[in-house]
Structure 1
Amino acid sequence: MKAQFIEVGTPATKTIHIKKVNTDYLQSPFHFHELCELVWIQESHGQRIVGDHIDHFLPGDLVLMGPNLPHIWLNDASFRETPVKGSVKSIVVYFPANFLQQLSEEEEMIAPVKRLIERAERGVRFTGRTQQEVIKLLSGITKRKGLGKLLDFIKILELLTDSAEFEYLGSIQFENSIHPKDTARINLVYQHLMNNFSGEISLQEVAAIANMTPPAFCRYFKKHTGKSLTRFINEIRVGHACKLLLEDVLSIGEICYESGYQNLTNFNKFFREIKGENPSQYRKSIRASAAKESLF
């Protein structure tokens, strides 16, 4: 997947830069930049791609990404169709990979952060107590000044480096090829797929958006994403289904159709192929996990 290179800003190349997002819906294209990026979604939901990983996101999502890792957070269609002022809130922290090395040369201090940055090259999502403690610090960091802000950020780094409560997002095989050429084309295709996954999507219509013949587009898409068009669409749909299963409001039959599938057989087949279990098992796992957490 080709992605757009974005200049984050000169000040952030040497220190930390904190951005408070308050908008109607997320609009950034699929992009990458030279800094590490820590994202906390306060209010919002939709789909995100980090490297070659596609999944849903909900309030509380806490993800750390290393330099030059392509990514995008895209809201569900309802955010654009009926925008609500301030319905998307997020805190984003940008910082250079060698940030701590600029403050100290002690290997004992630097080594754990180096390991964290190495993990972040694939993107990592933090959960559990680590997620809760980091969110507490992020919720107040925009109000902090000078040394207080720096100390809070170092505490966040400490929590992340010490944590085992995380999951990798991108695959170990993922590599980002930086080719600015065709950025606009692949982004148009990407946006179309993410915005229309719940309906029928034909190869012909997507190839037309890319201004290519269907056979040429299939080769092009596979080369730049590492996936077939069918696999890509199914990962988007299953990611959306996971969000609906987590919300635990709709029946599995309703979720099937809401996610773009026309029958339960196909829904179960692709869900199991991507998640390793069927929708019913996934929902049971979620409920069991929620019940366990409620005991603490």
Structure 2
Amino acid sequence: MKVLQFTIPVAQDRAVIVQEDVMPHFYPYLHRHREAQLIWIKEGEGTLLADNQMYPFKKNDIFLLGANQPHLFKSNPAYFEAESGLKIQALMIFFDPNGALAPLLDLPEMQLIKSFLHSTNGGLRVSPAQTDLVIQKMLTVQYAKNQELIIQFLQLLNVLTQLQESSEPLAVNSSATFSESEGIRIGHIFNFLMSHYDRNITLEEVADEAHMTPQAFCRYFKKHTRQTFVAFLNEMRVNEACKKLTSGNFENISTVAYTCGFNSLTNFNRVFKSVMGYAPKTYLESYFKNIKS
């Protein structure tokens, strides 16, 4: 049996670590690391789970994840199919604001950047209108060496600080207080739900996966995610529905509803509106209107 870790060590012992991955799919397990992570999705599609918040990701999305923030990049199911030919590619910059960089961030002149890193410990997504600028800065860091790398990295942080107001926060109240065992257990539950959201999942079934009684599971899940099991599962299903609706690969909204685990179109419309704030048809019209504009 593969032994999983919740806290993953980042390989290289440097103040700023630049890593580019090209793989069939992302690492499909909830995890954290002491370093903050800036990631540019160069190729690939799927779902980001940051703490208990879900976001679809696609090519050219950029996310900043806080130090020790539990997260999971789950590639779409097609990426796990044998001989699919699909791949993910991502450029990542890791840095520990509480490690080797701490004395630098403690300088009086660095207080705006330090405050930015503290206030965004729950993560953020860079506005699509600003991704080209951030990509340019990330590439500059990637190809810099020695002291030039630190200089370019500080310029990158300065840009992110200036773009904070236009960026979207991921998890306002970060729940990065999981113990190792709790993180592994919650990660197992999340992975089970993400693998089976498209069918009926009973409370008894998921509680059994967690080796708990249904009552104990409900208390445990609410305590560690600040959401009920049903609310979390509904949000997951709506997130998947949004991706399918905007892909253009489905004939109608009803088909999307049933392939995302909803047992009726009426229930899908009700849940979708409660999560997104508007009906699926309105969401779809707004999405394609923005694409064309």
The bucket for the TM-score relative to the shorter chain is 0.7 to 0.9
| Residues 91-106 of structure 1: pairs in structure 2 closer than 5 A | 91-97=91-97, 102-103=103-104
Quick one: distance in 2 between partners of 1:90 and 1:178?
27
Quick one: distance in 2 between partners of 1:192 and 1:105?
42
For 2:171, the equivalent position in structure 1 comes to 170
Aligned amino acid, residue 201 of structure 2: I
Q: Is the 2:78–2:84 Cα contact (8 Å) retained in structure 1? A: no
For 1:278, the equivalent position in structure 2 comes to 279
Aligned amino acid, residue 179 of structure 2: H
Aligned amino acid, residue 209 of structure 2: I
For 2:70, the equivalent position in structure 1 comes to 70
Q: CA shift at 1:275, angstroms?
A: 1.1
Which stretch has the larger CA shift, 75-84 or 23-32?
75-84
Report SS of the residue matched to 1:42.
strand
CA change 1:38–1:207 in 2 (3 A) is same
Q: CA shift at 1:46, angstroms?
A: 1.2
Task: Report Cα offsets for 1:16-44 as digits up to 9, x if no partner.
Answer: 00111111111242112222111111111
CA change 1:104–1:257 in 2 (3 A) is closer
CA change 1:151–1:220 in 2 (3 A) is same
| Residues 1-296 of structure 1: pairs in structure 2 closer than 5 A | 4-9=6-11, 11-12=13-14, 15-82=15-82, 84=84, 87-97=87-97, 102-103=103-104, 107-108=108-109, 110-139=110-139, 141-163=141-163, 164-172=165-173, 174-250=174-250, 251-292=252-293
Q: What are the ranges of 5 or more consecutive residues in structure 1 without an aligned counterpart?
A: none
Aligned amino acid, residue 220 of structure 2: Y
Q: Is the 1:27–1:74 Cα contact (8 Å) retained in structure 2? A: yes
Cα-Cα RMSD: 2.3
Q: Structure 2 length as normaliser, TM-score?
A: 0.88
Q: CA shift at 1:118, angstroms?
A: 2.3
Task: Report Cα offsets for 1:168-195 as digits up to 9, x if no partner.
Answer: 11133x4322322344333222211111
Aligned amino acid, residue 276 of structure 1: G
Aligned amino acid, residue 263 of structure 1: S
Q: Is the 2:23–2:87 Cα contact (8 Å) retained in structure 1? A: yes
Aligned length: 286
Percent identical across equivalent pairs? 28
Q: CA shift at 1:57, angstroms?
A: 1.3
Q: What are the ranges of 5 or more consecutive residues in structure 2 without an aligned counterpart?
A: none
Q: Is the 2:31–2:183 Cα contact (8 Å) retained in structure 1? A: no
Q: Is the 2:40–2:61 Cα contact (8 Å) retained in structure 1? A: yes
Which stretch has the larger CA shift, 77-86 or 229-238?
77-86
Q: Is the 1:47–1:236 Cα contact (8 Å) retained in structure 2? A: no
